[in-house]
Chain A
């Protein structure tokens, strides 16, 4: 690509169409924030769907929500919050040229992210075993509505809850997998010593993405697990 050989000689990370590194960094940062805005709208459609049915099938959804394993969910929340800390530390390490700390924190993030997916996998397995996966084999008979011991939850309405549970957590898990891919790449780059105090935009952008995926979970956890946990 002859075009790319014309990049400014003094800074190999500066792409040809930017005037200075700061402009390039600002562009990347704004681009990432805009992208996260589109992600909010992407999940927003699901949150909207959630609200509609939560309102319509209040009791049935309470019953369905109660079958989720709140301990595993809470553990996963803690795991993700810890991973946000390691991400922040990684960004700080990149900015202050602490290469070992950077690699360590990136690896820690990867471990935590993988742990999250593992726990999520255990939960999914449990859903399969209990026939709580929407579809032909779905079963939700004789489950009472919380607060109404004499009423059974409507299985069809509970099925919609589990459908949304799988779509929302599934899409979230997909974002986690993409995030893990990004962090593997960041780790390789960090290993090669590509990041300097002047050039660490990828770490920062990867961090923004990771935080965003965390925040989605911070909303998913109470909406899916905790809606009927009041005493």
Chain B
């Protein structure tokens, strides 16, 4: 308990240096911008979650009784758009990446602080456009915007949604640009590439995808909007346009976008597993370069989303083979994490529980991805709940688990407070159980033939759907809990020491929370990444938390 009688000598940090709305809205401090992003993406996460809740409630019974078919179409569309473009893509890079990339490499800020702020404003502008689109009628094309439905037939706000995503895409591009330049140009003396934390490697790979992929979806959405408004014919088969071309352009970004979501999560898991196994990560350079490999291979597999769309057999064969290739670097990571834990002294703190969750769920999601890379099975389960379950295992089971693990791991650094460990472990458990209960039945549902994007289904599918809805409720509780105790800890949590986990990494060598310019004196790096062997030999320093 913080005693009121103690003369509190506050260390100046990025949170208490300035107060007032203006000091936040016009800040160029990467740490403050990270918090702005945290608030905004959490807002959109709960909007997307609200849509998910309505979807699951509708599917509780076989009849379409809660909402009408048109409404249901809008619900899954906007659930997808909000979750993908306004939560998952920006989540880890814009929040944890923004906060940690300069700290981890020993820089005072990102290379372009004003562009960083601009990217947040672009996100907000795109977000407001999306909210406006939702409030004035929404959109029903599915998050994939498939033509010619989106260009010629849908009577909903397709152009508005497309432009919102166009704008928010530039926020993503600018974040990636900032990271690439920062990682190249702003590293502290001695912070060589081979000493970079794997979190940085993962963000570097992510940024490459953001930079090379996002512009393509931007121009594609411009073409869709132009086609819809002016009837150009580019995607209209009546005029000789090619709808498949749209799918190629769309998936050229949207498949790599999955790696935008999962790679940063993998970076977080690398940090957590090394720290809570008290071991140097096994096969550092393999894990580092597997991130780059995923980014590169990720650009060569997009047409596996189109196996039943009418692409040539030979194209399908090649894309099937290339899709298998992505499994190699992904498996390299999983094996190396497992090998890191082998004979490590494992600590079961909450971040590690999330990392365990990530390992299991990502592996299931990844292996079912191999099923889908196989042409025969893919034809059978395309557009069924099998696909829905598969990508939720990657994007929610993988990416969100990693995000939550990272939020717990670095929360003491971000807020200067410790979160309640018992509650955090409980929440991790609830999320894991709720997630599996929600999505595992969907694998079975899809395999026995329930198509996605329908608001009614035959009664024999009901038991599995009820399980899934029950799981979604548990999952919702699991997501609300961290928000509650993080907020609670900001006021009532114990003040955090600088390095509560005795972790390696530059971010733990500065104060919690860090000062505005991150380090009191410029760090010089003379050690390898994850030098846990050395850290373990040192007696654990009992840091006395500085009174606030």
- Set B180, B220, B241, B245: member contacting A34, Cβ < 8 A: B180
- How many Cβ-Cβ contacts under 8 Å join chain A to chain B? 117
CB distance from B191 to the nearest CB of A (A): 13
A27-B181 in contact (CB<8A): yes
Q: Are B216 and A41 in contact (CB under 8 A)?
A: yes
Scan residues 162-206 of chain A and give those whose CB is less than 8 A from a CB of chain B: 163-164, 167, 171
* Chain B residues positioned under 8 Å from A69 (CB to CB): none
Q: Which residues of A contact B233 (CB under 8 A)?
A: 134, 156, 159-160, 163
Are the CB atoms of A42 and B181 closer together than 8 Å?
no
Whether A45 lies near B173 (C-beta < 8 A) is no
Measured between alpha carbons, how far is A52 from B109 in the docked complex, in Å?
Answer: 44
| Interface membership of B214, Cβ < 8 A | yes
Give 1 or 0 for each of B97-116: 1 = CB within 8 Å of chain A CB. 00000000001111111000
Q: What's the minimum C-beta distance from B162 to chain A, rounded to whole angstroms?
A: 14
Interface residue ranges of A41-70 to B (CB < 8 Å)? 41-46, 48-49, 52-53, 56-57
- Give the distance in Å from the alpha carbon of A207 to the alpha carbon of B63 in the complex: 63
Instruction: For B248, give the chain A residue with the smallest CB separation.
Output: A48
A163 in contact with B107 (CB, 8 Å) = no
Asked if B215 and A38 make an inter-chain contact with CB atoms under 8 angstroms apart, the answer reads: yes
Closest chain A residue, CB of each to CB of B217: A45
Within 8 Å by CB of B249, from A17, A43, A48, lies A48
Stretch at the interface among B75-83, B149-157, B222-230, B392-400: B222-230
**Across-interface contacts of B214 in A (CB, < 8 A):** 38
The CA of A2 and the CA of B516, in the complex, are separated in Å by 11
A72 within 8 A of B: no
Contact of A27 among B111, B220, B252 (CB under 8 A): B111
Q: Point out the residues of chain A lying under 8 angstroms from B185, CB to CB.
A: 23, 26-27, 30
A39 at the interface (CB under 8 A from B): yes
Question: Taking CB as reference atom, which chain B residue is nearest A26?
Answer: B185
B502 on interface, CB distance cutoff 8 Å: no
Q: Provide the bound-state CA to CA distance between A89 and B420, in Å.
A: 63
Return the contact of A164 from the options B184, B234, B248 (Cβ within 8 A).
Answer: B234
A120 contacts the other chain (CB 8 A):
no
**Do A34 and B177 have beta carbons less than 8 Å apart?**
yes
Which residues from chain B contact A56 at a C-beta distance below 8 Å? 240, 242
Question: Do B245 and A52 touch across chains, with their CB atoms under 8 A apart?
Answer: yes
Inter-chain contact B239/A42, CB cutoff 8 Å: no
Q: Mark A121-143, 1 if CB is under 8 A from B, else 0.
A: 00000000000001110000000
Q: Tell yes or no: B147 within 8 A of A by CB.
A: no
Name the CB-closest residue of A to B22.
A1
- B186 CB contacts on chain A under 8 angstroms: 17, 23, 27
Report the Cα distance A42→B181, complex, angstroms: 20
Q: CA–CA, A171 to B28, complex, Å?
A: 31
A3 close to B216 (CB less than 8 A) = no
Report yes or no: A167 in contact with B215, Cβ–Cβ below 8 A.
no
Q: B232 contacts A134, CB within 8 Å?
A: yes
Query: Is B226's CB under 8 angstroms from A45's CB?
Result: no
Number of interface residues of A (CB under 8 A): 41
Contact of B26 with A by CB under 8 A = yes
A17/B230 in contact, CB under 8 A:
no
- Interface: B18 (CB within 8 A): yes
Interface residue SS majority, chain B = helix
Shortest beta-carbon distance, B145 to chain A, in Å? 14
In contact, A45 and B220 (Cβ under 8 angstroms)? yes
Contact for A160 among B173, B218, B239, B252, CB less than 8 A: B239
Given A41-B212, A49-B223, residue A163 in contact with residue B245 (CB < 8 A): no
CB-based nearest B residue for A48: B249
Complex CA gap A44/B248 in Å reads 13
CB closest chain-A residue, reference B230? A135
B219 at the interface (CB under 8 A from A): yes
**Residue B231 CB within 8 A of the other chain:** yes
Cβ–Cβ contact A16 & B108, under 8 A: yes
Q: Give the complex CA separation of A163 and B223 in angstroms.
A: 10
Interface size grouping (class) on chain B: 35 or more
Q: Which of A31, A38, A171 touches B181 (beta carbons < 8 Å)?
A: A31
A1 to B222 alpha-carbon distance, docked (Å): 38
A37 at interface, CB cutoff 8 A: yes
A17 contacts B113, C-beta separation under 8 Å? yes
Query: Interface 1/0s, chain A 1-43, versus B by CB < 8 A?
Result: 1110000000000011101000100110011001101110111
Q: Is residue A154 contacting chain B, with contact meaning CB distance below 8 A?
A: yes
Which partner residue on chain A sits nearest B108 by CB separation? A17
Q: How distant is the Cα of A38 from the Cα of B178 in the complex, in angstroms?
A: 13
Q: How many angstroms between the C-alpha atoms of A16 and B28 in the bound complex?
A: 11
**A157 lies within 8 A of chain B by Cβ:** yes
For A19, A41, A156, A167, which residue has the most chain B Cβ atoms within 10 angstroms? A41
B29 at the interface (CB under 8 A from A): yes
Asked if B517 CB lies within 8 Å of chain A CBs, one says: yes
B249 touches A45 (CB 8 A): yes
Is B26 a contact partner of A160 (Cβ separation < 8 A)?
no
Tell me, in angstroms, the Cα distance from A164 to B216 when the chains sit together: 15
Residues of A within 8 A of B222 (CB): 167, 171
B249 surroundings in chain A (CB, below 8 A):
45, 48-49
Docked pose: A46 CA to B213 CA in angstroms: 14
Pair B215/A39 contact, Cβ less than 8 Å:
yes
Q: Does B211 contact A (CB under 8 A)?
A: yes
> What's the Cα separation between A154 and B240 when bound, in Å?
9
Tell me which residues across on chain B come within 8 A of A167, comparing CB atoms. 222-223, 226, 232
Q: Which of B26, B113, B212 contacts A38 (CB 8 A)?
A: B212
CB distance from A3 to the nearest CB of B (A): 7
**Nearest CB to that of A33 among chain B residues?**
B181
From A16, A57, A154, name the one whose CB has the most chain B CB atoms within 10 angstroms: A16
CB<8 Å pairs between A and B, sample of 26: A3-B28, A16-B108, A17-B517, A23-B185, A27-B185, A31-B111, A34-B211, A38-B212, A39-B215, A41-B212, A41-B215, A42-B216, A44-B215, A45-B223, A45-B249, A45-B252, A46-B219, A49-B223, A49-B234, A56-B242, A135-B230, A156-B240, A157-B240, A160-B232, A164-B234, A171-B222
User: With contacts A34-B211, A45-B249, A49-B223 known, what are 18 further pairs, Cβ within 8 A?
Assistant: A2-B18, A17-B107, A17-B108, A17-B110, A17-B113, A30-B184, A34-B180, A38-B173, A39-B215, A41-B215, A42-B215, A42-B216, A44-B216, A45-B219, A53-B242, A163-B230, A167-B232, A171-B222
What are the 5 tightest A-B residue pairs by CB atom distance, in nearest-first order? A163-B232, A42-B215, A17-B108, A45-B219, A17-B109
